[in-house]
Chain A
Amino acid sequence: MNNFEFSRASDVADAVRQMAADPGAKFVAGGTNLIDLIKEGVARPSRLIDITRLPLGRLDETGDGGLRIGALVPNSDLAYHPQIEKRYPLLHSAILAGASPQLRNMATTGGNLLQRTRCFYFYDTTTPCNKREPGSGCSAIDGLNRMHAILGTSEHCIATHPSDMCVALAALDARVLATGRDGERSIAFADFHRLPGDTPQFDTNLKKDEIITAIELPPKGFATNYSYLKIRDRLSYAFALVAVAAALEIENGAIKEARLALGGVAHKPWRDRQAESQLHGAPAIRESFVRAADNVLRDARSFGHNDFKIELARRAIVRTLTQAANGTPQSQGDKRIR
């Protein structure tokens, strides 16, 4: 690891102040992504600002009946919180599909949103990578791209966002609360992560001096008809090739509301409002789900090694929507896909 200064933030204002004072500084929370990237030489911070002693570890009800999750709530505590298990089982399931128990004990809610891509070239400092070194080129487009994106790519970057938790948060229409020099703001989840375009060095729209303080969940949790299906190279402790979060509201066999978010296929958790609205009013049957899958993947494009992902995503979408409709969500313990 490179040598860096280390300091603790005493409150949120102090964290923002310390960040503003040092252009090379980074916040550190669970450390599970940042420490790894420092070891690899991908991140070379001049200072780490330890935010783990800030009072951001609470989970509270909001005025409108939703939940506010402090940025420092560990992933495991969040997954197993009784309110999450009962009211937002999609989020519970997605978190448990990610990483390992040890890592989930360390990883925080805020840090999970800001974890960086697992593109091998991003990690390998001897190769060109526009995300790591803007303007150097993208090694993945003509290289090993089995894990890479099929939606929303650009000629500058085809990386995916690796988070499972974020796929569920996208489906649930969560909001991100952040505080910076200009005060606090609330960011819709869809506007938090971004597509690569010609500036893939930016994963999100969070500003450099902003600290995430909380995530807010709206009251609606889709606790009856939901499923999180993650397809990967081994059954546990591996990143998604394709992941699907589905949440449905069904009335008399017809879909009243549909939420569909994909992981492992794009630079951000992928939501498609057009495909969702096409499901509204449709019967909750396979034919509707096939049409939705085709719709989501209408502009999908692959790069060689990841050609299989388009068909895999199509089948995973149909399967996950079917599981959701049947009220038989994918188990993250018994991995059999039914």
Chain B
Amino acid sequence: MMVTLHVNGVANKLTLAPWTTLLDTLRIHLGLTGTKKGCDHGQCGACTVLVDGRRINSCLTLAVMKDGAQITTIEGLAKDGALHPIQRAFIDHDAFQCGYCTPGQICSAVGLIAEGRAHTADEVRELMSGNICRCGAYPNILAAIEQVISQKSAAPPRDGGP
């Protein structure tokens, strides 16, 4: 099937078998290997990307069902060479060990902040529970996300970008 996927602002026309997941499309067909395959069954969050601004698990998504959608992966978060604030905060807080879960954690955190429903540490923990970290970097992941949330509430909203 012919589909067009807008990935990180670039339109890609692809011919795909209908059983191809969005995860495999990104990694294999588009060479965007930043998005990780952990469980491949919706149980870990490593494959989290943003589709039309909402965080989803790309391993349980058929690419053909997202024809025409805007997709943002970890590769698309930095703008003009500047890291996304969440990426910056993950580095500042050393919010990873092996790094395998990190692209999913970061995309999920970007989605979380856009949703605007996490205000307390408990709420961040609960609303980030779709991302498992095998290394147990949770305290630092939490600190990184809390930092960006507090900066957001202090500063006027930025335009553009997810």
Contact = CB atoms under 8 A, between A and B. Distances in A.
A102 B19 contact: no
B126 A106 contact: no
B146 to A, nearest CB: 15
> Which of A3, A36, A100, A334 gathers most chain B CB within 10 Å?
A100
Nearest to A234: B129
A105 B55 contact: yes
B60 A31 contact: yes
Nearest to A34: B60
B19 to A, nearest CB: 4
Interface in B19-43: 19, 21, 40-43
Contacts of A333: 120, 122-123, 126
B63 to A, nearest CB: 11
B62 A28 contact: yes
B54 interface: yes
A101 B108 contact: yes
A81 interface: no
B56 A1 contact: no
A3 B42 CA distance: 21
B42 A36 contact: yes
Interface string B57-70: 10011101100000
Contact of B41 (A1, A39, A48, A235): A39
B79 interface: no
Contacts of B126: 236, 332-333, 335
> Which of B64, B65, B117 gathers most chain A CB within 10 Å?
B65
B18 A32 contact: no
Interface in A31-54: 31-32, 35-36, 38-39, 48, 50, 52
| Interface footprint category on A | 20 to 34
A6 B60 contact: no
A237 interface: yes
Given A4-B18, A31-B60, A52-B65, A103 B122 contact: no
B19 A106 contact: no
A80 B48 contact: no
A237 B129 contact: yes
B60 A237 contact: no
A28 B65 contact: yes
Given A4-B19, A36-B42, A105 B65 contact: no
A5 interface: yes
Interface string B121-142: 0110111111110000000000
A48 B60 contact: no
B62 A102 contact: no
B154 interface: no
B60 A1 contact: no
Interface in A112-163: none
Given A1-B19, A28-B65, A50-B65, A101 B55 contact: yes
B1 interface: yes
A31 B62 contact: yes
A36 B60 contact: yes
A180 B54 CA distance: 32
24 contacts: A1-B19, A4-B19, A31-B62, A31-B65, A35-B60, A35-B62, A36-B41, A38-B19, A50-B64, A101-B108, A101-B115, A101-B129, A102-B45, A102-B56, A102-B108, A102-B111, A102-B130, A103-B60, A105-B111, A106-B56, A106-B60, A235-B129, A237-B43, A333-B126
Given A5-B18, A80-B117, 11 more contacts: A6-B1, A28-B62, A35-B60, A38-B19, A101-B55, A101-B129, A102-B56, A102-B130, A236-B125, A236-B126, A333-B123
Interface of B: 1, 17-19, 21, 40-43, 45, 48, 54-57, 60-62, 64-65, 108, 111-112, 115, 117, 120, 122-123, 125-132
